[in-house]
Amino acid sequence: MTKQYGTPADDWAGKAVETMLKREPEVNLKGKWEYEDGLMLNGVMDVYERTKDQRYLEYIKHFFDTYIDDDGNVKGYDPELFRLDDINNGKVLLKLYFITKDPKYKLVLDRLFDQLQKQPRTPSDLFWHKKSYPNQVWLDGIYMGDVFYAEYLHYFVQGPDFTDVIHQFTKSYDIALDKHTGLCYHAVDESKEMYWANKENGHSPHFWLRSIGWYVMAMTDVLEYLPEDNPGRQQILTNLRNLLDALRKVADPATNLWYQIPDEGDRPMNYLESSGSLMILNAIAKSLRMGYLENQEDWQAFLKKGWENALQQFISITNEGYVNVNKIAHVGGLGGPNHRDGSFAYYMSEPIVVNDHKGTGPFIMLANEMRAYY
């Protein structure tokens, strides 16, 4: 009998945030402005909003104050690189701004929004993932840039027009969708010139779990900010439901979790991957809370089984009592100096790591959502 680290009813979100405060008092020792830090701090903010523990708010504030000066300049951020990844930290910063009303945070929010206004676009009018990846649309980038886009319009623009936000979501779904499985490919090169791109449709070679995790979280998050009577909002909701249904069909039936390459679970070397699985479960949990999903009882049962297995498959506790999030794919990309070709062999070759913020963030968010079930 293996040692049990706790029960599904424990406050795992609180345990994980306490771990972050003790184990990582400085969120980023490299001094880089990185999207995964914002992802993790979004989880901490969720727990702060539930508990009102001021230490959690100070932890978030300390991170941003190490990067942002009084003039709103951000250490490590270069808007001329046009990386959608750089926008992601703006989501938790926006919440921090409304709590503190510190004007330097608003200056940063304005600069992030200004980047989106100038972001290069593909022929179908979608944002490039970054300047160095011309005409490429990645599912990851929708989460990084387009939820913030909607939030900024909602809070700071009089009579906001969400047409472009909706287009970023609906058109990316249309061009990335595989009609046979209902899943979406990791990326699309609209120029069809990259060595990894399908010459007919620009698709990357495989579905990648975490990219779909980013995508369903993005759709779940953006719906909050779109007017309910807007037909584009209804289309995003339909797309979200369809994609979650497709994901459910390829989930590992024993655990309700997902493989790194989600539609090839029986292929040797493939493995249950934590970050993407936690993201998808988090999207399901939030969608249930917000009333986005039909057949609620059925989805709740699926979610609880996935949560309980996620704890067994991915979570361990150290001798100090720290929460470890295991089985995280370190990175997954296409192109670049390492010639990442999007093959199955490529996705299996990337290191599997522990406590990367791309895994701890979704774990904290999901664990916080699961407080409603126990």
Is 140 annotated as catalytic?
Answer: yes
Residue written as tokens 């306490």?
18
**Residue 144's beta-bridge partner residues?**
none
187 — phi, psi (to 5°)? -155, 165
Q: How far is residue 261's CA from residue 64's CA, in Å, rounded to a whole number? A: 35
Q: What is the DSSP string of 285-338?
A: HHHHHHT--SSHHHHHHHHHHHHHHHHHHHEEE-TT--EEE--EE-----BTTT
Q: Sort 184 into a burial class: Cβ within 10 Å, 0-12 / 13-18 / 19+.
A: buried
How many angstroms separate the Cα of 23 from the Cα of each of 17, 52, 53, 287, 319?
10, 21, 18, 31, 13
Of 37, 46, 85, 140, the catalytic one is: 140
3-state class (DSSP) for residue 71:
coil
Angle, alpha carbons 315-290-325 (nearest 5°): 10
Q: How far is residue 133's CA from residue 221's CA, in Å, rounded to a whole number? A: 26
Q: How far is residue 266's CA from residue 272's CA, in Å, rounded to a whole number? A: 11
User: For residue 225, how many other CB atoms are within 10 A of its CB?
Assistant: 18
Q: Of 297, 319, 224, 219, nearest to 3 (Cα)? A: 319
Instruction: Name the residues annotated as catalytic.
Output: 140
